[in-house]
Amino acid sequence: MTRLKAGQDAYGRQVYDQFRGRDTVEIVERDDGYVDTSDGAPAYFAEFADWPAHQRRAAKYVTGRVLDVGAGAGRWSLYLQGQGHEVTAIDNSPLAIRTCRLRGVKDARVMPVTQMSPALGRFDTTLMMGNNFGLFGSRRRARWLLRRLKSLTGPGARIVAESNDPYRTRDPIHLRYQRLNRRRGRMAGQLRIRVRYRDAKTPWFDYLLVSRTEIESILAGTGWRVARYVDSRGSTYVAVLEREGQHDER
């Protein structure tokens, strides 16, 4: 996704309104006509003690200088700043970044994931939480961006990324969509969605949900490998990725 304009910044408007004390509901629309609500902005402002257990466990794999990709309201950035990390938060939503700054994130920038460059400096950990492995969008773009992330990192670098296994469902609507994707030559969990809030709506964009096997296939040849997984009780999980050739600390 590119930087969002005012009428497109549905996610950011929701986050900003929630920050200002307004009750909010976020609508997610898929290109097959399926419509659902997200868990909502309150979760984006939760304190560390209230985070899901697998996210709290994943936090221990964050080291050094951090790039928080898709930072949203900044909960990860603020937590890691409090732990002594230098953090750069990026998001393509101007209002989300405004919220980050108002909440105290020291370095928050409006920047789509596709615009990451060495001008940001070098990072020890790239953070893609909140299912933000999905921001890679497709297999092809994921492999391109993973190679780009190598240019922003050095030896010992990690990517800590959350995803959701799309195959852990029995819902016939989702299973039908996966079959549609395969017929279109797309990955089964490659969603085409847009976000709506009040009178704002984002452009349509791809959001990628992957299984563990698919992550490992995507990583092949990019210079990254899975060091370990952090599981939840459901279909969501965190993959801790390291540059190839590094010692596996399991």
Tens digit of pLDDT for each residue in 72-104? Answer: 999 999 999 999 999 999 999 999 999 999 999
At residue 7, does pLDDT exceed 80? yes
Question: What is the pLDDT at residue 41?
Answer: 80
Domain boundaries, the chain: 6-243
Task: List CB contacts of 47: < 8 A, sequence separation 6 or more.
Answer: none
Give CA–CA dist 221/147, Å, rounded: 9
At residue 1, does pLDDT exceed 70? no
Closest listed residue to residue 115, CA positions, set 163, 66, 69, 76: 69
Residue 141 pLDDT level (bands cut at 50, 70, 90): very high
Tens digit of pLDDT for each residue in 28-80? Answer: 999 999 999 987 688 899 999 999 999 999 999 999 999 999 999 999 999 99
Question: What is the pLDDT at residue 246?
Answer: 54
pTM equals 0.95
- What is the helix, strand, coil percentage profile of the chain, to 5? 35, 25, 35
- For residues 141 and 2, the model is more confident at 141
CATH class of 6-243: alpha beta
Question: What is the pLDDT at residue 2?
Answer: 74
Give CA–CA dist 233/214, Å, rounded: 20
Residue 248 pLDDT level (bands cut at 50, 70, 90): very low
| Extended strands (E) in the chain | 27-30, 35-37, 66-69, 87-91, 108-110, 123-128, 153-164, 190-197, 200-201, 205-208, 224-231, 236-243
Phi-psi bin for 35: left (phi > 0), alpha (psi -120 to 50), beta? beta
